[in-house]
Chain A
Amino acid sequence: MRLPRSPLLWIGLVLVLVQVGVAVAAPWIAPYDPLQQTILARMRPPGAPYWFGTDNFGRDVLSRVLHGYRSSLAVSAASVMGALLVGGSLGVIAAYYRGWTDRIVMRVMDVLFAFPIILLAIGIIAVLGPRTGTTAVAIGIVYVPIFARLLRGPALVLAESEFVQAAKVLGVSDVGIMLGHIVPNLASVILVQASLSLSTAILVEASLSFLGIGTQPPTPSLGLMLAESRAFLLISPWPSVFSGAAILLAAFGFNLLGDALRDTLDPRLRGRD
């Protein structure tokens, strides 16, 4: 296979891989315990030995950012994966069986889609109580209709295709056709949307944590760090700068990757947006 030439694709890919690597390796590469408070080294500006400075409790900002990546990416990845499994299955099932199944499933999706994203997440969190695990569930539910709607269209086309008709004639089961013939052909759509969804899920997770209803302390989270450090913004801006920059960089990497992947995988869109 010829390697794609798009430089943006490579920049996106490197950004994503580095950040995922950092998130996975956080416990080993963080120079300090993210919760350890050093009273004598509070609100230090960046410089050795605290490269990103320290916060109002004398905690190392670099270590907190690294661990924050870990929880932010874990929550976002879990929610997008869950939404893909549930929403994607619903979309494919609706497209394959059509008729009433399609109508009912897609109407339910329309209803979920009608809610503004953060508002629906807030409602779910209000019901389940603000806990770290709840955030992933809430964001996951919010993204279910996005995957269902996105996969239904191409799945409808595939369900009518000759190879699917042939598989039916050969007696392949419905599940076998959906998993063996339809889903593999949706791989590029799934890849692009998963990457773009991860980007927005990171922003939603950060927003909810910033509001105090997402990841709960003492778990280090980028949104929470930004919220906590804002009280000391005018005396010590660095924790706010680094935690926010980390959120932007994570969301930016996945968005750039998804955007460039869409161009590379779908030549019809090349040169458009």
Chain B
Amino acid sequence: MLRLILDRAVDLLVVLFGVSVVAFLMIRLIPGDAVQIMLGANAAVTEEAMAALRARLGLDQPMIVQYLSWIGGVLRGDLGTSIWTGKPVLEEILDRIGVTAELLVLSLGFAVILAVPAGSLMAYVRGGAADQIVRVITIAGVTMPGFWLGTLLIYGFYAWAPAWPAVGWVPIGQDPAGHFQRMLLPTLALGLPILASLSRIVRSAMLDALGQDYVRTARAKGVPERTVVLRHALRNALIPFVTAVGITAGYLFGGTIVVEQVFALPGLGRLVIGAIAERNYPLIQATILLVTTGFVVINFVVDLLYLVIDPRTRGGG
């Protein structure tokens, strides 16, 4: 058990090291003179400014030295300085990350809570035409572009509920009701496609579990059907479901970037897209590094939880 956890921890460190190398190389791979490109759009670019930026990024040093000094800074919380505002990028990211995290948690929560009953119901009505209909609807849900769904929701609310504040953002402290009113549509735009994919996973995991020997045994023993479904089948079906939720979280982050744009939410997505137009590379680099590290660690924790909860995963791994 301890050995397994150590093995996983080593895997985690290798992946995190790789992620940091990719993020590090990003700025170094910009074709041409990165410094000139980064300062390019700025009218008042002087030789001194370029030399200063070059020295700050350490671009005149050998690669290994550059990496070591960069990662050393990262580990001390120094992720670089925003090219445009001169503020530490970590500060700019922390200012925005709350909105994105809230949207992610709300939409994932919405999907997770509804996916279990929806998927179980889909497993229950299985067979014949119902299967095919369920399948078409869930595939349409999975492939629904969140940014289009969001756009349609905005139009629908404009047409039928014009008083509803569909777009924009207010801080929760200033107007809690208005805050959640404005979060409703983004949550639906992001959560509904996820609900479709998660309920499909619950359905097939339920069908799998219901076909297992332990379910047959329980039924043969005369355990009431309710208990068979809830205690024996559902609990086992939740194992693949939890993995899927972990993976979905990373995928969902891509969705938040787009949905923030649709609803004009001041989150991390808008910050990054703005940074591309401004060629604010340190900000893009730091965002990629932080967000990816976050998801890698989340998935690692989910993995560990399994080792504790489900004895079967301890064997082969």
Contacts and interface: CB of A to CB of B under 8 A. Distances in A.
Contacts of B139: 252, 255-256, 259
A212 interface: yes
Given A119-B254, A211-B257, A114 B158 contact: no
A126 B272 CA distance: 10
A111 B19 CA distance: 6
Interface in A229-260: 230, 233-234, 237, 240-241, 244-245, 247-248, 251-252, 255-256, 259
Main secondary structure of the interface of A (DSSP, over half): helix
Contact of A130 (B30, B154, B155, B276): B276
Most buried by B among A8, A120, A127, A256: A127
A114 B297 CA distance: 10
B135 interface: yes
B144 A110 contact: no
A123 B288 contact: yes
B253 A244 contact: no
Interface residues of A, number: 49
A203 interface: yes
Contact of A226 (B29, B151, B277): B151
Contacts of B273: 122, 211-213
A273 B132 contact: no
B146 to A, nearest CB: 8
A126 B143 contact: no
A183 B143 CA distance: 29
Contacts of A207: 145, 147, 254, 257-258
A119 B253 contact: yes
Interface string B147-167: 110011011001000000000
B239 to A, nearest CB: 15
Contacts of B21: 111
Interface string A197-224: 0010001101100111100000000000
Interface stretch (B82-90, B201-209, B220-228): B201-209
B31 interface: yes
Given A115-B22, A117-B254, 11 more contacts: A116-B292, A119-B288, A125-B276, A127-B29, A210-B261, A212-B277, A230-B262, A234-B155, A234-B158, A244-B145, A259-B135
Interface of B: 11, 14-15, 18-19, 21-23, 26, 29-31, 132, 135-136, 139-140, 142-145, 147-148, 151-152, 154-155, 158, 200-201, 203-204, 207-208, 250-251, 253-255, 257-258, 261-262, 272-273, 275-277, 281, 284-285, 287-288, 291-292, 295-296
27 contacts: A8-B132, A112-B22, A118-B254, A118-B255, A119-B291, A123-B23, A126-B276, A128-B31, A130-B276, A199-B143, A207-B257, A210-B261, A211-B261, A213-B273, A226-B148, A230-B151, A234-B155, A234-B158, A240-B148, A247-B148, A248-B140, A248-B148, A251-B143, A252-B139, A259-B135, A272-B207, A272-B208
